[in-house]
Amino acid sequence: MLWVLVIVGTGVFATYAWRRSRAAARAVAATVDFFAGLVTLTLGVLHTGAIVGNALRGKGVGGAATFEYNFRFYALLLVGMTLIVPGLLCALKAWPLARGDAGAWRVPLWSCVVLVAVNAPMIPVQDFAQVPGGLAGLNLIALLLVWRGRARKVEHR
């Protein structure tokens, strides 16, 4: 059900972005940014909720019988936060990006760099890291294309 809300929310955002944006490329980049941010945010919240939920029930991480605060628990919480914060920033900056605000691409761009840097080394250990890392990579490409197009327009003035 949660993923249906993500998809419907992205569809609604895409409709408004397409109507309000003067440039199709910017509307597409903003929609990719919104979708990638929302999916990454959702994955981060679900991951962190599962880790904290197991800890509150007294279950340990990685199949341990009892909860123990250790580096692995801390690292899993840190991974969740590194998914939540950049995902939230991408989703929040998608509308200014669609409107064409001058600096709107910077925050999502650096958020995607963080997501790729965090998730790429985890792929050999955790295959699921391909999802947020891949979405961040796709978002990074879309944002760079919008930025490059904007730079060309500035040069021609």
3-state secondary structure 27-57: HHHHHHHHHHHHHHHHHHHHHHHHHHHHHHC
Which range has the worst mean pLDDT, 7-16, 34-43, 145-154?
145-154
113 pLDDT more than 70: yes
When the pLDDT of each residue in the chain is averaged and rounded to a whole number, the result is 89
Mean pLDDT within 79-102: 93
> C-alpha angle with apex 100: 94 to 102, nearest 5 degrees?
100
Please report the pLDDT score of residue 140 as a whole number: 94
**Among the listed residues 9, 8, 4, the one whose alpha carbon sits nearest the alpha carbon of residue 91:** 9
Please report the pLDDT score of residue 48 as a whole number: 96
pLDDT tens string 14-72 = 999 888 777 888 899 999 999 999 999 999 999 999 999 989 988 888 777 888 888 98
User: What are φ and ψ of residue 104, in 5° steps?
Assistant: -65, -20
157 pLDDT more than 50: no
Cβ–Cβ < 8 Å for 142, 98: no
156 pLDDT more than 50: no
Q: Where are the domains of the chain?
A: 2-156
- Angle, helix 24-56 to helix 130-156, in steps of 10 degrees: 150
Residues 136 and 113: their CA atoms lie apart, in Å, by 7
151 pLDDT more than 50: no
Whose tokens are 């998809």? That residue is: 7
Residues 117 and 96: their CA atoms lie apart, in Å, by 25
